Structure 1
């Protein structure tokens, strides 16, 4: 069935006249009449009753009209999807490390869904970018900060580690403890100087930059590590999280952006999503 024949049929139906439809479609009347006959032969029906001053649709013609309009609408939508591409929106987002794969993936998924045509590039937070998800300590002059997360750090221990039996880890428990140094890490920068001040020496087994590698070593039983208390970590069976008896082992995470750029559609959308995540 030719899509043009359906177009001609709809024109005849709506004009009530073959001659009027031929003028509307810019096609010769014999060609249009031939298209209608071919449709009738293919469907084995009569679509119009010829009258002295035009045509009247039959019951089958009425039924075909509804189908034809839907099919033509779908065909036009298909054509537009290829001939009218969505405008691209390029956005560079700087991210610090150890933000939590699950929660960041969910945020970026929602960001992409709300902006068709988004081309999102993730970069280091010190590279040129449109906005950054960072801690307040990394704010630059003139940047605004929209809070998102408030993370508390705990000690991740292998499931079989004897300290896993304790409900809270004291600073004295770090003496000789196999420990992974992870930098940059806000909690490490607070905890380690305090251990040094008290003369407590842990057994540093590795210096790791990413939380994923640190957790891998904890899971393998190599050492313990300071990690944010992400919900997904509490559900793991290969390690145990325990709070540390020291105040201030926490961090705040938020969206840093220039107020000059805040009127852009992409940044407005991301800012709105981040405001929903704000922890009081």
Structure 2
């Protein structure tokens, strides 16, 4: 088994079809099929199953796909590192940021990397937290911001900040005050939230369940901007951190209120792709930059609501 076999295997899984993968690799389909058969023979396990919808990985194939992503990325970086004789940090660093984190952090991180390590090629992936987590597990990212219920230390993670969550929207839930609303008062309030894979949705579901209730979710919305626009329209509310509301209008007009009894708080950490070895120097540098930029934005009041 060599690196070419792993590249071919990744291409087949990504394409979901031998013919499509062969076209992208500029080889014939029979030749690619033979390479996959050789790979399965060398490993002694079946890696792919062919069905009416194309080619899918077996459980063993899924494991190989995840690890092969890491190996191919490391091989490519090693080749670039050896070829690059410049005495500075360089190479690509892939960072996954959930949208609520990317909104304040990504532009400042880009500027920091450009100023401090111009040899590093930053690759920023912004999406909802569930998809970012999937990319991290698949080996597509070097670093990712992850949400936690507590700030307990974990392997391969550096704590970044914590934040409270707020109700955004105008449907009348009998608020405690103009600034606060009890979770119990929200039991009948229509809410739009991300889908079930989202950390935010899981946190909301657990908070209501602890009170013996279930939230009134009227739509799953996988877009931060769309959730805020729906809340601004007055037909439903959403639950978000204060930091992302500032760029979408006046908080008073949006009906921003702190949720209490209980306060909904989440913790954010930066996680590396693996626990088994120390990441490359460029990855460590970007991780340090994320921490430095976050502290500076908070100190300057440019990232409200975080601790």
Report the TM-score when normalising by structure 2: 0.51
Structure 1 residues 137 and 203, CA gap change in structure 2 (3 angstroms): closer
> For residues 199-238 of structure 1, what are the structure 2 equivalents within 5 Å?
200=213, 202-230=215-243, 233=246, 236-237=249-250
CA deviations on 1:115-166 (whole Å, 9 max, x unpaired) are 213322234333312222223479xxx8422222211111111499875963
Q: Given the alignment, which residue of 263, 278, 281 partners 1:264?
A: 281
Q: CA RMSD in A?
A: 3.9
Deviates more, 1:201-210 or 1:85-94: 85-94
SS at match of 2:92: strand
Instruction: Determine if the alignment matches structure 1 residue 241 to structure 2 residue 243.
Output: no
Query: Paired residue for 1:125?
Result: 136
Is residue 179–residue 206 contact of structure 1 (8 Å, CA) maintained in 2? yes
Structure-2 separation of matches of 1:174 and 1:153: 13
Q: CA deviation at 1:260?
A: 3.3
Structure-2 separation of matches of 1:221 and 1:85: 59
> For residues 1-280 of structure 1, what are the structure 2 equivalents within 5 Å?
89-123=91-125, 124-128=135-139, 129-136=141-148, 143-158=155-170, 163=175, 166-183=178-195, 184-196=197-209, 198=211, 200=213, 202-230=215-243, 233=246, 236-237=249-250, 239-247=254-262, 249-257=264-272, 258=275, 260-262=277-279, 264-275=281-292, 277=294
Gaps in structure 2 of 5+ consecutive residues = 1-83, 126-134, 296-305
Is residue 186–residue 251 contact of structure 1 (8 Å, CA) maintained in 2? no
Structure-1 separation of matches of 2:207 and 2:106: 31
Is residue 156–residue 225 contact of structure 1 (8 Å, CA) maintained in 2? yes
SS at match of 1:125: helix
Larger Rg: 1
Structure-1 separation of matches of 2:243 and 2:164: 9
Report the TM-score when normalising by structure 1: 0.56
Structure 1 residues 102 and 164, CA gap change in structure 2 (3 angstroms): farther
Is residue 142–residue 283 contact of structure 2 (8 Å, CA) maintained in 1? no
Is residue 164–residue 242 contact of structure 1 (8 Å, CA) maintained in 2? no
Structure-2 separation of matches of 1:99 and 1:177: 26
Structure-2 separation of matches of 1:136 and 1:190: 9
Structure-2 separation of matches of 1:208 and 1:198: 24
Structure-2 separation of matches of 1:207 and 1:101: 21
Deviates more, 1:109-118 or 1:87-96: 87-96
